[in-house]
Amino acid sequence: MKMPAFFIAHGSPLLALEDNEYTRFLERLGADLPRPRAIVVFSAHWESPQQLLTVDERYETQHDFYGFPEDMYRLTYPAPGDPELSLRIRELFTSHNLPHQPVLGRGLDHGVWVILKKMFPQADIPVIALSVDSLRSPKEQYEIGRMLSPLREEGVLFIGSGGLVHNLRLLINSDQPEDWALKFDAWIAEALESRNLQELFNYDQKAPHAREAVPSYGKEHFVPLFYVLGTAAKGTKAQRMFQAYQYGTLSLNCWKFE
């Protein structure tokens, strides 16, 4: 069964405790999808110049944040891994001459488990986490995703977890979005829906307010879009399934690629 691929904003870690329109959307999304063989997540919270991937049989839950309510630190997501699929991914990377490194015992960071806890709360589907490198070019990031695109035909669900507008220094105390954030998201939507890869690869020069939306210190939240878009390289359809904002500039969006 060929699975779709998604870019999903993970917002604040508090998403794991919240009950709102976005969390209910994620719950419905997980319930409506065919059950994947496994889930592979490119996480904004795992950045490395070398491509890394998990090879665990079972994961610990990382609480890689501070200053949150105690309830956050009691949450767990004890998902299984899939060492056999990890090996398959390594073989695909090797066949494309991509240096990579398996990692054992890192656990799942909140960029992975917070959204999966909403989508697949039973934590019974195997998960593999992949690192991102925000210093690579968007085309390189896309090509790494494209190396893995055959796995979608094998029942693997790919998720890029991050945020298209994610500038923590410009947050405001309002859920009404700033005009510049709306304009940036609208530009990205048009480029995705028309599958204009060249425009997307040059978003930092082309998109309005790109510097505010994707600050130089926070590109790791944007780049999972390119990795997961690469896994859908043979597809032709991009669908925005959800769009909202928190704190004025933190976009909560879900894009589906088929």
pLDDT < 70 stretches in the chain:
235
| Residue whose C-alpha is closest to residue 126's, from 61, 56, 224 | 56
pLDDT at 172: 85
Question: What is the domain count for the chain?
Answer: 1
Helices 110-119 and 21-32: crossing angle in degrees, nearest 10, is 70
pLDDT at 174: 84
Alpha carbons 136 and 31: distance in angstroms, whole number:
35
pLDDT at 168: 81
pLDDT at 212: 95
pLDDT at 184: 97
- Looking up residue 252, the CATH number of its domain turns out to be 3.40.830.10
pLDDT at 171: 83
| Residue whose C-alpha is closest to residue 223's, from 196, 250, 204 | 204
Name the CA radius of gyration of the chain, rounded: 17
What tokens were used for 189?
Answer: 């939507």
pLDDT at 175: 76
Domain containing residue 214: 5-257
Compute φ and ψ for 118, nearest 5 degrees.
-80, -40
What size, in residues, is the chain?
258
pLDDT at 196: 94
- Give residue for tokens 């309002």: 174
